[in-house]
Amino acid sequence: MAELSGRTGVPIPTIKFYLREGLLPPGERTSPNQAQYGEEHARRLKLIRALVDVGGLSIVASRAVLGHLDSVGVDTLEQLGKVQYSLTQRREREQEDDDAWRAAEDQVEGLVERHGWTIRGDNPARASLIEVIATLHRLGQHDVLDLLDRYADAAEGLAAAEVAAMWARPSIEDRAEGVVTFAVLADALIAALRRLAQENQVVRTAAVGHTGGGPAATA
């Protein structure tokens, strides 16, 4: 275990915790008090740290994701779908039954239809999107909602590139891991890039006297 800690930079107490929680498979027992850990353990340990530290997933959610990775079998599409679905936090409370929620459901249905997306009804991201849109309605943030199709276009372009890269991976195990990294780490990557781009745009538009109606005319 000390060697595994040295190779990955993960402290021994943290490795023991991941073992107890079932996130990291046990090593090969070489004696009553010793176990050997291979490269697959180092790779899994790095993935766990990425999920928990960078992706912000809980231990329970990480265990579910890794469990689907370990059960990857013959039906590639079904297994990859299970991995992807497990990465979206499912709604724990009852859905609201108000005008905002019903409007959000209609908007999501219309968006999926306009873009020609094939989406299962039980996709947890669908419920998440409805909840976000309903919240925007309640807050009166309609200028954000006006950008919904632009957000969808950007997401579709990114998804096309990501899925192409995922299918190019050599094995089902590598592809399943790709689903995780594109969903969790790429989400964090995109969020950071947006923050940088937003600051750049604010500085640029403020410099030309932007007031919300377009760049100010110069004399």
Domain check: are 89 and 162 in the same one? Answer: yes
pLDDT digits (tens, 9 = 90+) for 83-118: 777 777 665 556 667 899 999 999 999 999 999 999
The pLDDT score that the predictor gives to residue 96 is: 67
Q: What is the pLDDT of residue 131?
A: 92
Whole domain around residue 6: which residue ranges?
1-54
In a shared domain, residues 100 and 158: yes
Residues 43, 145 within the same domain: no
Is 25 part of a structural domain of the chain? yes
Q: What is the pLDDT of residue 91?
A: 58
CA distance 2 to 28: 15
Give the number of domains in the chain.
2
pTM check: above 0.85:
no
Is 69 part of any domain? Answer: no
Does residue 19 sit in the same domain as residue 89?
no
Q: Do 50 and 144 belong together in one domain? A: no
Low-confidence residues of the chain: pLDDT under 70:
72-77, 89-96, 209-219
Structural domain contains residue 64 = no
pLDDT of residue 113: 95
Same domain assignment for residues 18 and 101: no
C-alpha span between 63 and 179 (Å, rounded): 15
What per-residue confidence (pLDDT) applies to 53?
Answer: 82
Q: Which helix (H) or strand (E) element contains residue 186?
A: helix 186-207
Contact 8, 45 (CB under 8 A): yes
Domain shared by 29 and 81, yes or no: no
Q: Decide: 48 and 24 in contact? Cβ < 8 Å.
A: yes
pLDDT at 146: 95
The pLDDT assigned to 90 comes to 60
